Structure 1
């Protein structure tokens, strides 16, 4: 069962698209802003058509059973070897070599009859061919709405509309230690 990410903080915890030169966060921001429209009922209408290969979309056959078996086709986007017309801010760190600059992908299930995305997933390669089951997540409409409210710079810096800063550079053990240290220092004396 794949985990569904509902909030920006949950996405940051997964470290999807991190650290640079990975392109996954820029890809996800672009997708949220330019490929999908979410209506008041949570339906995800496609603003781009993955069936025609625009932006480098291609069929994803799910041969390794990475995603649930469904009747709708899956399409992936984000392979910078065939970037199509992805914007420069998504492709700018691509080296062309076998490094992490081309590791991240978005995979969608697409209903062409209704022109809507049923599910949206983010994943990363575990090697040159296979995707990593342990780093594949479903993206909720709530998370997409949250991303849509942010500028690209604020999204990449991990800020939310509530000016809440999310740290993605410290390991959780260091964060816990820091919180405990600060808590100890600011306990009022009785």
Structure 2
């Protein structure tokens, strides 16, 4: 299993992205609310997974997703219980079977020393199972980096560049149809104006012909009288 040591490793893993996935916000919340790093780099727990704080529940590791151990695993991040997490983590949750509830954090909790011996991030491959190929161990150094970062700065540094490009390209392409529609609208307006002028000219010609016909008849009648 790959261990992520810094923000660039986290960015390259593409964990928690793109939107509406909530994993990056979940990880930032966890680092700031649930962990304290001591002088020896150990991750001291600021919450109690055994009591179900913030929606923590037991993870039994039946498929050996994580290393076997005598200590219990606990997972957090299921948005079906959105009251347990802050709004910035839950705001994109749709309530449907989509990517908005796919990410989880799993911790190895040592209750004797009140610390997390290991922290992992993962994502669902389907509603019942986690993805072996997208499960990563979070190092204490990375946890320190996250704790030192403001949330917006953290998201900016961990959002993969390909998603930035995709967003920018989508934005640029979305502008072109608007410009084309504007030109088309102006062209249609010009065509409508041109058609209106033609209609007026045709009507004037008809009126002129009628007047000429009446005038010619008048002249012809007067000629016969003389």
| Pair in the same fold by TM > 0.5 | yes
Whole-angstrom distance in 2 between the partners of 1:84 and 1:24: 17
Q: Distance in 1 between matches of 2:79 and 2:164?
A: 29
Partner in structure 2 of residue 153 of structure 1: 152
> What do residues 102-160 of structure 1 show as CA deviations (whole Å, max 9, x unaligned)?
0000000001111000000000000000000000000000000001111001111117x
Distance 2:44 2:34 in 1: 8
SS in 1 for 2:58: strand
Q: Give 2:51's aligned residue.
A: 52
Q: Where does the alignment leave 5 or more consecutive residues of structure 2 unmatched?
A: 166-226
Q: Which residue number corresponds to residue 161 of structure 2? A: 167
Q: Is the 8 A contact 2:14 2:160 kept in 1?
A: no
- 1:113-124 equivalent positions in 2, closer than 5 A: 113-124=112-123
- Residues of 1 paired with 2:69 and 2:45: CA distance? 19
User: Residues 56-71 of structure 1 correspond to what in structure 2 (within 5 A)?
Assistant: 56-71=55-70
Residue 166 to residue 97, structure 1, CA distance change in 2 (3 Å): closer
More divergent stretch after superposition (82-91 vs 63-72):
82-91
> Take 1:112 and 1:83, find their aligned partners in 2: how far apart are those partners?
26
2:92 maps to 1:93 = yes
Q: Distance in 2 between matches of 1:19 and 1:166?
A: 9
What is the RMSD of the two structures over their aligned residues, measured on CA atoms? 1.5
Structure of higher CA gyration radius: 2
Q: Distance in 1 between matches of 2:41 and 2:144?
A: 10
Distance (whole Å) between structure 1 residues aligned to residue 71 and residue 83 of structure 2? 23
Partner of 1:188: none
Task: Give the match for residue 33 of structure 2.
Answer: 34
Q: Which position in structure 2 is the counterpart of 1:9?
A: 8
Question: Unpaired segments of 5 or more residues in structure 1?
Answer: 160-164, 172-190
TM-score by length of 2: 0.70
Does the aligned pair in 1 maintain the 2:12–2:160 contact within 8 Å? no
- 2:84 counterpart SS class: coil
For 1:120 and 1:86, how far apart are their aligned partners in 2?
A: 18
Q: Which has the higher helix share?
A: 2
